[in-house]
Amino acid sequence: MQTLSKQVLAHASRLPEGTPLAAKELLHLGTRAAVDQVLSRLVARGALLRAGRGIYVLPVESRFGARAPSAVKMVEGLANQRGETIVAHGAAAANALGLTTQVPMRAVYLTSGRSRQLKLGAQKIEFRHAPIWQLIFPGRAAGDVVRALAWLGPEQAGEAIRKLRSKLPVSELEEIASARARLPTWMAQEVSALVAHG
């Protein structure tokens, strides 16, 4: 069993920081039962963190001791591993775009996968299943604008768009406008203003 533990930790240490580890990925090292048992032991020892059901991560060693990996890196790793689209929640997008000074207290992400919560040390990360239109343009300012507008709602969207028109490059504005057919009617109307007056 000791050698299997070492093999699992060696495999985990070769992954980028925050990359989730699942038992299914380790079946080349041993049977499912043996892998599950080793993962439980490694969590009990503190060598791995259990982020959620069947999801483990390697803590990051620093000169101050072990800490949980960055939530952003874990989210990226989870998206790559599961083939999900995972993007920042509209509140975080609105804050990043300077549309609100409210800083989200919790880490909330929108996902094409199922809604669930994971835990990284003391931090909880919430994943909320979202409609496809809220997941467009992942990793781009155009996508952040769509998510921020969805969070702000129809009442505040017009003012937000006026602020964004001077902040964003024309290419991003055109990108957002190109997605109008995929957006709710109220948002498509507001987004049309981006190019109409551009």
Show the tokens assigned to 173: 């504005």
Burial 72-88 (b: 16+ CB within 10 A, else e): ebbbbbbbeeeebbbbb
Which pLDDT score is estimated for 91?
94
pLDDT in tens, 21-64: 999 989 999 999 999 999 999 999 999 999 998 899 999 988 88
Q: Which residue has the tokens 């490694």?
A: 42
Instruction: Say whether pLDDT at 85 is over 90.
Output: yes
- % of residues, the chain, pLDDT over 90: 67
Q: Which sequence spans correspond to the domains of the chain?
A: 2-67, 134-196
**Residue 23 CA neighbour count, 13 Å, CB half:** 16
First to last CA, the chain: 65
Q: Alpha-carbon distance 194 to 176, whole Å?
A: 9
pTM: 0.85
Please, which pLDDT band fits residue 116 given cuts at 50, 70 and 90? very high
Q: What is the pLDDT of residue 149?
A: 96
Residue identified by tokens 């957002």 is 176
pLDDT of residue 97: 93
pLDDT band at 106 (very low <50, low <70, confident <90, very high): confident
Using alpha carbons, select from 68, 84, 45 the residue that is nearest to residue 125.
68
Position 11 scores a pLDDT of: 92
Using DSSP, state whether 194 is helix, strand or coil. helix
Among candidate residues 112, 116, 8, the one with its CA nearest the CA of residue 53: 116
The fold for domain 2-67 equals: Arc Repressor Mutant, subunit A (1.10.10)
